[in-house]
């Protein structure tokens, strides 16, 4: 297939779905994703300017690609869109959907390890949430998607913030209230890269410096706000990791010892 053929197919699809920013495309059984240079209509505070965000993402993907394989493979770049190889199922789906049951733990462990290797190379993602990490069962490959997010409103080391936000995005999921073994698998992968303890130290320091804020967050858990509760659980998770167990999560029989997890309905 030529680039011209691909770009014609992309333009046709865009014409059919002018309002869509991210579009899947299949040609001869091969899957791609198109991401267009336009606003996603949400989160305008974080993603201020759509052109800046677009070019920033393309730039980051190209930079990280030089060091690591776990970034999207760009097959076509134009002024208005980028076409990438499809990278499989996001971890949000892997955690919940049946066909991924057998590979679930492995995928989470590999995701944690990939994030640690990214950090070891001195790079960071910005917001590696579960919906922005894909796992391809056929190639056994992790891909970190969506490189346009950069949270700069907290003064935490950017690599430490990555892993904090990743664990936070896990604790936002319903399954994490009952069963943390996927989080443990991801953390096991992350901490298997020896340099990762530096990030754990940074997180611990951050939690200590902001202990009054975290205390407040803990007391706000009674309102069952999803993000707030997830921050509290993330803090408690990092508190539970000690050097006696090589910073691995404590062994659990079932998952009845969830840290400070209030029961009841949660609100997004």
Ligand X SMILES: Nc1ncnc2c1ncn2[C@@H]1O[C@H](COP(=O)(O)OP(=O)(O)O)[C@@H](O)[C@H]1O
Site residues for Mg ion, 11-40, by CB under 5 A, read: none
In whole angstroms, how close is the CB of 239 to ligand X at the nearest point? 30
- How many CB atoms within 10 Å of residue 22? 13
Nearest to Mg ion of 43, 245 (CB atom):
43
Cα–Cα distance between 184 and 241 in angstroms, integer? 11
Using CB under 6 A, which of 6, 14, 33, 236 touches ligand X? 33
30 binds ligand X (CB under 6 A): no
User: If binding means CB under 6 A, how many residues of this protein chain bind ligand X?
Assistant: 15
Helix H or strand E segment including 82: strand 81-85
Nearest to ligand X of 88, 189 (CB atom):
88
Give, as one character, the DSSP assignment of residue 253: S
Six-digit token pair at 197? Answer: 């303890």
Contact, 81 vs 37, CB < 8 A?
Answer: yes
In whole angstroms, how close is the CB of 127 to Mg ion at the nearest point? 8
Using CB under 6 A, which of 1, 22, 27, 121 touches ligand X? 22
90 binds ligand X (CB under 6 A): yes
Residues 146-165 vs ligand X: string with x where CB under 6 A? x-------------------
Using CB under 6 A, which of 61, 87, 123, 176 touches ligand X? 87
Burial 79-117 (b: 16+ CB within 10 A, else e): eebbbbbbbbbbbbebbeeeebeeebbbbbbbbbbbbbb
Q: Is the dihedral of CA 98, 101, 102, 108 positive or negative?
A: positive
How many helices (DSSP H) and strands (DSSP E) are in the chain? 9, 7
Nearest to ligand X of 111, 258 (CB atom):
111
50 binds ligand X (CB under 6 A): no
CA distances from 98 to 102, 202, 215, 258 (A): 9, 36, 38, 25
Nearest to Mg ion of 110, 146 (CB atom):
146
The interface region with ligand X, picked from 86-94, 102-110, 209-217, 249-257 by CB under 6 A, is 86-94
146 binds Mg ion (CB under 5 A): yes
List contacts with ligand X (CB under 6 A).
Answer: 21-22, 33, 35, 40, 72, 84, 86-87, 90, 131-132, 134, 145-146
């Amino acid at each position: 297939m030529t680039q011209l053929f691909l770009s014609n197919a992309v333009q046709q699809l865009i014409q059919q779905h002018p309002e869509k920013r991210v579009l899947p495309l299949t040609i001869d059984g091969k899957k791609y994703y198109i991401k267009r240079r336009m606003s996603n209509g949400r989160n305008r505070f974080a993603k201020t300017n759509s052109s800046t965000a677009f070019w920033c993402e393309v730039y980051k993907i190209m930079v990280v690609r030089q060091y690591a394989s776990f970034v999207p493979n760009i097959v076509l770049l134009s002024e208005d869109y980028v076409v990438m190889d499809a990278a499989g199922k996001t971890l949000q789906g892997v955690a919940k959907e049946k066909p991924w049951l057998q590979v679930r733990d492995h995928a989470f462990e590999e995701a944690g390890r990939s994030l640690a290797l990214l950090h070891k190379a001195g790079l960071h993602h910005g917001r590696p949430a579960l919906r922005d990490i894909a796992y391809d069962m056929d190639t056994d490959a992790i891909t970190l998607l969506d490189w346009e997010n950069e949270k700069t409103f907290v003064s935490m080391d950017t690599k430490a913030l990555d892993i904090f936000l990743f664990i936070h995005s896990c604790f936002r999921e319903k399954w994490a209230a009952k069963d943390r073994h996927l989080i443990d698998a991801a953390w096991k992968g992350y901490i298997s890269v020896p340099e990762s303890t530096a990030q754990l130290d940074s997180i611990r320091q951050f939690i200590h410096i902001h202990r009054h804020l975290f205390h407040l967050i803990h007391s706000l858990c009674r309102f069952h706000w999803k993000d707030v509760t997830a921050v509290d659980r993330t803090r408690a998770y990092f508190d539970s990791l000690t050097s006696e167990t090589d910073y691995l999560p404590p062994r659990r029989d079932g998952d009845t010892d969830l840290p400070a997890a209030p029961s009841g309905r949660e609100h997004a």
